[in-house]
Amino acid sequence: MMVVVFLCSMQPRRFAIVAAMMLSAGALLQAQSHQAYVLYNSSGHRTHFKKMMHRLKGADVILFGEFHDNAIAHWLQLEVARALADAGPLVLGAEMVERDDQATLDSYLHGAIDQAAFDTLARLWKNHTSDYKPLVDLAKERHFPFVASNVPRRYARAVSRGGFEALDTVPAAERQWIAPLPIPFDPELPRYRHMLSMMGDHGTPDVVKAQALKDATMAHSIARNFRQGSRFIHFNGSFHSDFFEGINWYLEHYAPQLKRITISTVTQADAGRLESGHKGQADFILVVDEDIPGTY
């Protein structure tokens, strides 16, 4: 009651100012009690951006695993990339651009074509403009390389239908877009077995091999384009690097000397503590409130 009387006794302009301050304070309190995201280390202990960046700056390769439609993950990717760019030479790369689009990507980075031409000539994801263009443009502004790391989807599709044998007929000139053949493969890796079980009746060993082809090609792209004295940050779906498998497993094969740090994205109803199933999923785990809307 005293607050109401106090507000009513004010002049209109002062009333508006105080009311806005009270609303802002209320929003701040609400935000503090319901966090959009929290960072954890592998053991499940809370950490913070500055501490994570200190670790990342000591790595050769950072694998940032995302949910493709997660706005918080995309925002943090850009913040991490900017901080690394400020700290020294950087190479960026992403699952979302395929190897045979590298020349087109380079033309955009060097200013030979504009965004409209890039959109037309490259097979970009539907959320490129909102979620990946800022990363590509950061590379363009800082004159850093951006690596199109993924295998062209037509080859992944062929493997999902006919196994690795489907790659035997790929012309020699096009094999530059695939990790060196034969592709090493361990079907007993826990994440590949988990993938097969998740897919139920729709899962086949060849579908898992297609996933492995993507992992191998992305890892080979990172190893081939890593520059001594720089850091390489790679953006990929979390499944491709979770639990230090996928791209990690192939990097151990192609470039075991590179020091790697991983980040994974998960969603939870309560971001206030890391669920036990996510512990050990990555060096750093980004927990996002599951009510945050997706970007598409």
Taking only the tens of pLDDT, the chain with its 296 residues reads 434 333 444 444 343 333 333 333 333 334 444 689 999 999 999 999 999 999 999 999 999 999 999 999 999 999 999 999 999 999 999 999 999 999 999 999 999 999 999 999 999 999 999 999 999 999 999 999 999 999 999 999 999 999 999 999 999 999 999 999 999 999 999 999 999 998 887 779 999 999 999 999 999 999 999 999 999 999 999 999 999 999 999 999 999 999 999 999 999 999 999 999 999 999 999 999 999 998 88
Burial of residue 96 (number of CB atoms within 10 Å: 0-12, 13-18, 19+):
buried
Q: With 0-12 CB in 10 A as exposed, 13-18 as middle and 19+ as buried, what is 293?
A: exposed
In-domain check, residue 296? no
Do 16 and 98 share a domain, yes or no? no
Q: Answer whether residue 73 is part of any domain.
A: yes
Look up the domain containing 132 and give its range. Answer: 36-289
87, 230: one domain: yes
Alpha-carbon distance 215 to 212, whole Å? 5
Structural domain includes residue 95: yes
- 63 and 129 within one domain: yes
In a domain, 40, yes or no: yes
Same domain for 6 and 50, yes or no, is: no
Q: Which two tokens stand for residue 2?
A: 């005293």
Domain presence at residue 108 = yes
Rounded Cα distance, 115 and 117, in Å? 5
Report the C-alpha gap between 237 and 293 in whole angstroms: 18
Amino acid 202: pLDDT:
76
* Any domain includes 143: yes
Residues 274 and 184 reside in one and the same domain: yes
Q: Assess whether 246 and 166 both reside in one domain.
A: yes
Q: Are residues 44 and 12 in the same domain?
A: no
Tokens of 47: 């950490």
Residue 11 and residue 108 share a domain:
no
What pLDDT is attached to residue 191? 95
294 in a domain, yes or no? Answer: no
How many Å apart are CA 152 and CA 227, to the nearest integer?
24
Q: Please tell me whether residues 8 and 83 are part of one structural domain.
A: no
**Same domain, yes or no: 162 and 252:** yes
Angstrom distance (rounded) from CA 61 to CA 230: 9
Number of structural domains found in the chain: 2
* 13 and 48 co-located in one domain: no
- Do 55 and 185 fall into the same domain? yes
Q: What pLDDT is attached to residue 125?
A: 96
Quick check: pTM over 0.75?
A: yes
